[in-house]
Every structure is written in C-alpha cells, then in structure tokens.
Structure 1
Amino acid sequence: MLDLYANKGSALPQKLTITALELGFIAFSYFLLFGDGDAIISSLFGWPVLENTPARRGIIFAFNLIILARMGVMMFMFLKRQIPWSEALSVPVAFAIYYVGFAILVLPNSAPLGTFDYVGIGIFALGCILNTGSEWQRHIFKSDPANKGKLFTGGLFAYSMHINFFGDVLWVLGYAMIAGHLFGYALPILLLSFFAFFNVPKLDDYLRARYGQPFKNYETATKRLIPFVW
C-alpha cells in the first residue's frame, strides 16, 4: 500500500469524487444540525428536541467546512500521487465519521459555550495548523528541484516525525470537546491508537527503506508522534 507514495499522478477523477462525496456528507450534517434531521435522530435516541439551536451546532458545522477546505488544499495542491478507487471511496466514508458523527453527538447538548469549549476551538485550530502547516512546509521543500530525493526533517517536522498525524488527533479532539458527548472522546483515542500502533510503524518501515541512514539519524534524534513526549 505504501508503494503508492512512489506512483506519481494527478488522480483528478478520484479527487473530484472524494470532494463530491464529502460535500454530500456535509450537506447531510447540515440537515441534522439545522433541519428536520434533528427530530428524526432525537426520536431514535430518546433525546429532547431543543427549541433553540445552540451555538455549538454552528461551530460543529464550521469545523466541517474547515476540514473540507483543508482536504481540498491537501488533495489538489500537496498530493502528487495516484489514488486507487478503493481509497477514493473509503476516505470520504472515514471522514463522514467526523462530519456526521459529531453532528449527531452534539444534538442533545443545549449547554451554552464556556471556557472548556473555547479551549476546544483552540485545540481544533492548533491541530489544523500542525497538520496543514507541516504539509505546506514539506510541499515547499519538495518543490525545490535541489531537494529531489531528500528527506524533509525541518519546520514542524523537527518537533515530531509525524506531527501532521498528531495534528489530526488534536482537531478530532476539538470536535469532541464541542460536541460534549462521552462517546465523542473515543474517536481521538482510537485515532491516536491507530497512528501509534499501525500507521506510524508501517510508514516508518517504508521511510527507513527509502531514505536509509538519513532517516535512521532523524528517528534517533526526533520524537515519533507527540512533540516533547514520544
């Protein structure tokens, strides 16, 4: 699977498909947050239908739009490899867990925004910056012909070998904090576990084989996922 990183291409049909499917899921999240979907879901779970629309629902929807925009930047600007159709169909479904899942979990929460929620917004923003910012720095480095075939270890990646993945965990945690439902916290925990025990080890094996000693030096001197911790 990791051999895909070496297969360059535009993959425009797949990228357009991913975008179209994600737009569909975000439209559905709007139906849940602000339309008749609220009453349907609330009746299924026995939740009260709120008379007023809490501000946190608007924040969840704004998060959805921000993630969609970031995905667009990632795919159409940064991603230069082939995308198999299996990935083009599975990626939007994975992101639907966030777009739709948190839209559902926030429905019974009528609490006004407080300090904890504003911290959650900050964590979401930090996660987006770490993920997209690090990818942007690597994109600039790779765009220089003088750096062809070289391993990028600067910028935000100097603090963590996979700081982009850590950013993903943070923005998902921000979603969970705004939704304010206990089940929501399972998602950042599961995502962190996936990165730590599956994705990162496999990716490190690939990078170690591709870059050799420069990568070995990098992993010796740099935290693997969480800056200053591990």
Structure 2
Amino acid sequence: MELYGQESRSIPQKIIIHFIELLLLWLSFWLLFQDGGNRIANVIHISNSLEGYDRRIIIFAFNLITFIRLGYMMTFLLKRKIQWEESVSVPFAFALYYIGFSLFVLPTSKPLDALDVIAVVLFLVGSVLNSGGEILRGRWKKNPENKGKIYTKGFFKYSRHINYFGDLLWVSAYAIITRNWYAISVPIFLFCFFAFFNAPKLDAYLKKKYGKGYDDYAKSTKMLIPFIY
C-alpha cells in the first residue's frame, strides 16, 4: 500500500476514521468509569481496582487530547490520499491507545507520584513535537517560494522524523501512567515500527523526491531520536 506522493482530501475515509475513534472514546469511558471495567475484568480475569481513579482520569484526558489533536491534523494538515485499508488500520492503532491503556490501568491502585508528573510532561512535550512540528511544516509549505524544497526547519532540524519521536514520547507517557509492565509493549512496538519500517520507507520516498537535498539533510540529522539515532 503506497502512502506517499498521492494527494487527496479523502473525506469518506476521514469520516469513517473519526466515527470509529468516537466509538473507541466511548468504550474507553465505559471501561474506566462505568460498568465496563468490571465486565471486562471478569472476562479476562484481572482485578479492577477502585483506588486508581486519578490515573483513570489522566488516561481519559490523554485520550481526549489525542483525539482532538490528531483529528485536527488529519482534517486540516494531512494532504496525502488515505487508502480505504487505512479506514481500519488507523482506528486499530488508536484502539491500542484508547482501549489498550484503559485496560492496562484497571488493576492499578498506586497513588500518583513524581514519576506521573514526568509522564504528563512527556505527554505534553510529545504532543507539541508531533502536532507543532506538523503545523509549522504546513505553514512553511504554503509559501510558494518553498515549492520543491525539503523542510528542515523548526523541530525537524533535530530529527528527520521528529513527529514520530513525539509519538514515542506521548505513547510512553500513557504506559507510565498505567504502572503496568505489560503496557511497555506498546511504545516498544511503536519504536520498532517507526525505526525499521515507517521511517525507512518515508526516507526512501523523500530521497527519490528531493535527491541531493535530502541526502545532505540525512547526513547531518538523525533519523528518529535527536542526536542519538
């Protein structure tokens, strides 16, 4: 499935994705604050602690912010064509966040502490890197003088895929808030997906599109993690 190089508004696909995401948000609320937690806990044989209410509020707040932020980006910033297959695959990814982390936090009764403050900061920083980077790049691309040039400014001067690094930060914040070791599997999976599949695939497309300009950029800028990798 080729994702890059084709422009389209893809309105039907976006409507389907947003509808499924709203359904997932409702399911996460049902799990966290209504009878869903008890029902699912009985089915999958886990405890449903009633002492981790603050963590559940933070997880749902993360869900709302992520829904609004990425909904805005998909509606107003995403210019490439969305394949019909993505109408299912994209909501599946969000199910990992909205539903997966809601399940991971159910057994947790540990009171909030300094590590959770760090997690909230990570979530905010990751969100700014991801959405802020895309917004700044979108504004830059609207300038006719920049047509045919590769964007290497703003947050993207620290990493060629700083938006993906932002994703890793805010998803890791979710995992920390749950205080569930199993939750670590989600950011680990996301890192592997970005590092070994999505980022190299996008690199190949950008190299083909921008040629030497992209080669020079790649030589001086790390692929994913600023100054490291």
Give the TM-score normalised by structure 1: 0.96
Aligned length: 229
Superposition map of 1:58-73 within 5 A: 58-73=57-72
Deviations 1:137-183 (CA, angstroms, capped at 9, x unpaired)? 11011111111121000110000000000000111100000011001
1:183 maps to 182
Partner of 1:222: 221
Kept in 1: contact 2:101–2:183 (CA 8 A): yes
Alignment of 1:45-60 (within 5 A): 45-52=44-51, 54-60=53-59
Check whether the contact 1:176–1:185 (CA below 8 A) recurs between aligned residues.
yes
Partner secondary structure for residue 22 of structure 2: helix
Match of 2:89 in 1: 90
Write out per-residue CA displacement over residues 91-116 of structure 1, whole angstroms, 9 at most, x where no aligned residue. Answer: 01111011000000000111111001
Specify the alignment match of 1:120 in structure 2. 119
Identity %: 47
Aligned Cα root-mean-square deviation (Å): 1.2
- Secondary structure, counterpart of 1:100 in structure 2: helix
After TM superposition, where is structure 1 displaced by more than 2 Å over at least 4 residues in a row? 44-53
1:18-73 per-position Cα deviation (integer Å, ceiling 9, x unaligned): 10000001100000000111111222344344345510001000100111011111
Query: What TM-score comes out, normalization by structure 2 length?
Result: 0.96
2:69 maps to 1:40: no
Q: 1:98 to 1:148 in 2, by over 3 A?
A: same
Shift of 1:86: 0.7
CA distance in 1, matches of 2:48, 2:86: 37
Q: How does 1:71-110 map to 2 (within 5 A)?
A: 71-110=70-109
On the 8 A contact 1:102/1:176 being kept in 2, the answer is: yes
Specify the SS of the correspondent of 1:108: coil
Q: Which runs of 5+ in 2 are unaligned?
A: none
1:81, 1:203 → 2: CA distance? 13
Which blocks of at least 5 consecutive residues in structure 1 are unaligned? none
SS of equivalent residue, structure 2 residue 4: helix
